[in-house]
Amino acid sequence: MLKLIPRDIIHKSARETGVDLKARTYSVLSHLGTMIFAQLAHALSLNDVCDWLRLKTRALAAFGLTPPSRNNLSNSNKVRDAKFAELVFWRTLAHLQHRDQSFGRQRPGGSAGRSLLHRFKVRIHAVDSTVMELVANCMDWAKHRRRKAAAKIHLRLGLNGFLPTFAIVDTAGEHDNKRAREVCAGLEEGEIVVFDKAYVDFAHLYDLDMRGVHWVTRAKDHFRYRTVRNLPVNKGGKIVKDQIVKLTGNKWKKLAGWTLRRVEAWVEFDGEERLMVFITNNTAWSPMSVCDLYRARWDIEVFFKQVKQTLKLGDFLGHSANAIRWQVWTALLLYVLLRFAAHIGQWGHSFTRLFAVVRAAIWERLDLVGLLRSYGTAGGSFTLLGSPQTSWLPGFEPAGTQSHGTAPA
């Protein structure tokens, strides 16, 4: 798996961030390899990582790695800029996409979401965030409530290839819509972005419209508008209203000439139908296409479920902000490496099983791609993606899950 990361990417990123200047007895390559191993092995602590790797010194030497001491690893996570891990992630992702042009352009497996997106011939992105709970009495930098501390990942996910296209790792104290402009800054004209109502900021949505970016989101409960005209809808169908509207209120006087599209539809949620309101800046799509696009947004929840329940993002090896970022970026890096191995190995099972197989074979002398192509004890058809219905046990959904809104039926 380490061979999938070109060494020149590591050296270039180390020079640009100054990490190589702080690497004397413990190399940057060894540090990166250690953090990837900690993710793959689900190591319990710094001592667990160091003791495990010390017992495998001979195997590590074949890769040019040296096992760290506990103090070396702890200090490296604290003082070596996590920007290095971030640069390695993005450059490795770009390298793998260049190495295989189909990687990142095709959705893995037979996801149901693919049938919803095939009629859109442009790139589609989903934007959302996920919170990682931290220990409040050890991490004052991450406190956002009196007795709570947390870090947050703001992510833009390419729904066409199910790979990250932009990410920010920060504290959880700032509201999502404060980060919306940064997350959407790289979107190009003609592309589509879908996000939850937590990211609704009409000044930002107006800017996206002026840039030629199409967007779909849900309207907040206190959304104030004036109907300009009603578009025709089929009586007795799922679509209740399809309207062109304008914003009202003193706050949006400067956007008085701007019109939005408001679609009101019945959707199935937890086995019962609910009335939901969507807004978009596109007037050419059918109202059902607007609902389908928002339905595809749920795939980013599946992505968060995969990385948080499979990789090591539930507990951390350090308390500093830099150490947290190191662990998050190496988790995302491992995710991309696993996805690429699955792609070229034509893996047809779930992502969870992929992780389990690679983890079980970590110290075996096996060709990874050959292993994935030959491995399998169960027949049938599988998909690399999860499904939202299996993300949480019934009755144990996390608080706030319903606010995201599931997709329309």
pLDDT in tens, 323-379: 989 999 999 999 999 999 999 988 888 888 899 999 998 888 888 888 888 875 444
Distance CA 66, CA 79 (A): 19
Q: What is the pLDDT, as a whole number, of residue 136?
A: 45
Distance CA 100, CA 61 (A): 29
Q: Is residue 409 predicted with pLDDT exceeding 60?
A: no
DSSP state of 20: G
Q: Is residue 273 predicted with pLDDT exceeding 60?
A: yes
Confidence of residue 109 (pLDDT cuts 50, 70, 90): low
Q: Within 10 Å of residue 393's Cβ, how many Cβ atoms?
A: 7
| Ranges 88-92, 99-103, 285-289, most confident | 88-92
Q: Is residue 301 predicted with pLDDT exceeding 50?
A: yes
Residues of the chain with pLDDT > 90, as a percent, come to: 42
Distance CA 384, CA 352 (A): 8
Distance CA 292, CA 269 (A): 14
Which amino acid makes up residue 250? N
Whether 87 and 360 have beta carbons less than 8 Å apart is answered as no
Q: Is residue 210 predicted with pLDDT exceeding 50?
A: yes
Q: What's the whole-model pTM score? A: 0.84
Q: What is the pLDDT, as a whole number, of residue 376?
A: 56
Whether 22 and 79 have beta carbons less than 8 Å apart is answered as yes
Averaged pLDDT of the chain:
83
Q: What is the pLDDT, as a whole number, of residue 168?
A: 87
Comparison of pLDDT for 143 and 409, the residue scoring more: 143
How many Å separate Cα 193 from the centre of its chain? 14
Distance CA 101, CA 53 (A): 35
